Amino acid sequence: MQNSSAFKKRIKRRISGRPHVFFAVCPPGLSGICAKEVARVSQKAEEIFSDKYNISNINVLPGGIEFTTRLKTACLANILMGSATRILMRLATFKADGFRRLEEQIKAIDWELYLPSQTLPDIRVTTHKSRLYHSTAIADRIKPILHDRLFLKEPPRHYDVTGSAAPPPQTLMVRGENDRFELSLDMSGTPLYKRGIKKKIVKAPLRETLAFAILTRLDLSENDIIADPMCGSGTFSLEGAMMQCALPPGTFRSFAFEAWPGFEEKSITHARNRLMAAARTDMGVQPLPHILARDLDQTAIDHLKQTCTRHRVFQRICPVCDDFFNMTPPPIKNNQGVVVLNPPYGIRLDENNDITSLYKEIGHKLAADFKGWRTGIVCPGKKEFHALNLGLSTMPFFHGGLDLYTAIGVIGR
């Protein structure tokens, strides 16, 4: 067992005091938005930590964005980023064409510097074109090594993680391709699209990452009226409320990295406080416009009302049980209205048989009553996109096992 000041020195030298490579995983189609967000994190880190060192080597790769920075800036990225699904910290890459080599490489990693003691991470293995291909066998070789390092070397650590008494889940990702293995730790824990806000959800919710990306593509500003007329659990309304107040997506949740030995709690608490202070959470003086959330389903509306009690930034959301086709939107000036729709579709909902005619009716309704509004409409396919007949452009993405398109643009232009 090591003495704690020597351990702290090792942490500083090896973990917190030097840059590492990270990877922000994002849904297909969102890498452009995600890369811009990484660049924004870099500016914020400079402001908040008054630290010249920020993010370098931002690379768009298949599946996400790679970047190099210090651990505390990557922690900030988890709090700030709305389009990433999770952020991974790269630990090692090496070649291994047999178990002996794999075990040697695993033993060479100072696991106790990365992971909390007395807990084994979940090990997720994927391999492709590698001599070591059996994922369970690979995980079984890694586990005892981690056990030795994490259970014997350090005394039990006390967990004090925002909003949860239990230690957050830890995951080690092992990816083998052509005998080359890449090891990463999941910093986020539960996926980042789980913002820790919704109390209950109704069926077929849109992922928060996608709602965030659509609202970003629409250049949502604090002056916009948001209409979310098929709101379900209210993903668009909740994301929009946070974006308009500049409240970071990770405000209400905890992360796996909060239990890591290299976690700089003081710096991150300082960052959270700075971000909260900068957010426009005081609705008193010049209130932001209401967010018009509507749904035919009374249960969905009741759940959303409950969720809105979570924080005062959500009190601008007005959930009402009503039919979108009866909705009369308020007048807007200068295109300062955003109407976002994720209509029921495809394999995930069964109540709609004639999906194309629903999209046709939606197109008619929007053209008649929402002229000049900026819109984002999730479509299950090209057919539904064309049925809208609004002359909009498309933003493709993948969600819930489906290739989807979002119709994006200004209505009546």
What are the residues binding ligand SAM (CB under 6 A)?
Answer: 202, 204-206, 229-233, 235, 294-297, 300, 323-325, 342-344
Q: Does residue 257 contact residue 170 with C-beta atoms inside 8 Å?
A: no
Angle in degrees, CA 128, 132, 135, rounded to 5? 75
CB-based burial label for 322 (10 Å; 0-12, 13-18, 19+): middle
Closer residue to ligand SAM, CB minimum distance, 60 or 296:
296
Rg of the chain over Cα atoms, rounded to whole angstroms, equals 23
Minimum distance from residue 347 beta carbon to ligand SAM (Å)? 12
Nearer to ligand SAM, 152 or 347 (CB): 347
CB of 352 to ligand SAM, least distance (A): 8
Report the nearest approach of ligand SAM to the CB of residue 321 (Å).
Answer: 9
Residue 329 main-chain phi, psi, to 5 deg:
-75, 155
Nearer to ligand SAM, 65 or 404 (CB): 404
In the complex, least distance from residue 171 CB atom to ligand SAM, rounded to whole angstroms: 26
CA distances from residue 161 to 69, 138, 157, 230, 318 in whole angstroms, order as listed: 23, 31, 12, 35, 32
Distance between CA atoms of residues 369 and 364, nearest Å: 9
- Alpha carbon distance 77, 38 (integer Å): 7
Residue nearest to ligand SAM (CB): 232
Tell me the residue type at 183.
L
Please identify, using beta-carbon distances, which residue of 262 and 343 lies nearer to ligand SAM: 343
Beta strand spans in 101-249 (E):
122-128, 171-177, 180-186, 225-228
Minimum distance of ligand SAM from residue 189's CB (angstroms):
22
Quote the Cα angle for 179-185-190, to 5°: 130
Q: How far is the CB of 87 from ligand SAM (least distance, A)?
A: 23
DSSP state, 199?
S
For residue 231, the minimal CB distance to ligand SAM (Å) is 6
Structure tokens at 87: 């952020």
Alpha carbon of residue 203 to chain centroid:
20
Which of 168/229 has CB closer to ligand SAM? 229
Nearer to ligand SAM, 235 or 406 (CB): 235
Compare residues 21 and 296 and give the one whose CB is closer to ligand SAM. Answer: 296
